[in-house]
Amino acid sequence: MLTGPCQQWLRNMVPSSTAPRIRAKADAYLELLNPKNAALLKKSAAMGRQLRSDYTDLTYEELAVNIAVSVLKPSSDVSIRLCIKVVSTWEGLQACEQLCASGIRTLATTLFTLEQAVLAAEAGCIYVAPFVHELKAFFDDTYHDAGPISHLCLRIQTYFERHSYATRVKAAALLSVDETMELAGVASVTIAPDLVRKLSEQEEAQTSLGERSLFTGEASAGGKDTERMTFLDDEAGFRKAFAQSEGGRGAVKTEQAIDIFSEYQIKAEALMRDTDLTRIG
């Protein structure tokens, strides 16, 4: 049984499989707005109300959203594909340690610093997902993120290899073909469908593509001299290092990403709450 500071976090956790798009949480809300999913919206809202008494730690809106997401984002083989995405805060990564001890696989998301990745590896996460761009860049067409952090993926992967961590890097939040090419050599990557299409249209020679990667040549040496850090039993040390990392920008980006995801969760719950079961069908 999960205990301690993780309980409140787990109450609000919405489990999901490792979805192929960075906007997966927002997608669920946007798809529920689509008229073709009116029947699913009605059914999920109704089931949320019916099952409410069996899940006393959740509101019926939270339960209904989880039901809808499980239909919109199914996993054909739970034992292989299911992985809980957990925010890379102190509380979230402490929960990862307990989930790992229970045999539940986790991925540390909304991650913008090496310090978060170190704690995630110590907690036993199978993946960390460094965001190359701020999440805001995917939701606000007028916003330009001038500081992508592709180099962080290299730094984390090199650190894991040097210190023999099994945790793998799953790069996320890419916006361009050039950024994707820079990450050739990373263990894993999340690529949006539109970007996959653009990649399929590339005709460059393989040797040329290799020269563009951060994981080849002199750049690949970055991070090899990073000494081992430990934060698993040092909350104060983690919070201080995280707050100072990247000049404080990592903490700001993490908070911003959590706010965006939370906003869409709240919108989806409101949609369930406001659903008129007598008129949809």
Which residues are tagged catalytic?
Answer: 85
Handedness of CA 82, 115, 224, 97 (dihedral sign): negative
SS3 readout for 61-100: HHHHHHHHHHHHCCCCCHHHHCCEEEECCHHHHHHHHHHH
Inter-axis angle of helices 150-162 and 114-123, to 10 degrees?
Answer: 40
CB burial readout 239-257, b (16+ within 10 A) else e: eebbeebbeeebbebbeeb
The residue type at 248: G
Name, in order, each residue with C-beta under 8 angstroms of 134's C-beta and a sequence gap of 6 or more.
Answer: 143, 145, 173, 253, 256, 257
> Amino acid letter at 135?
L
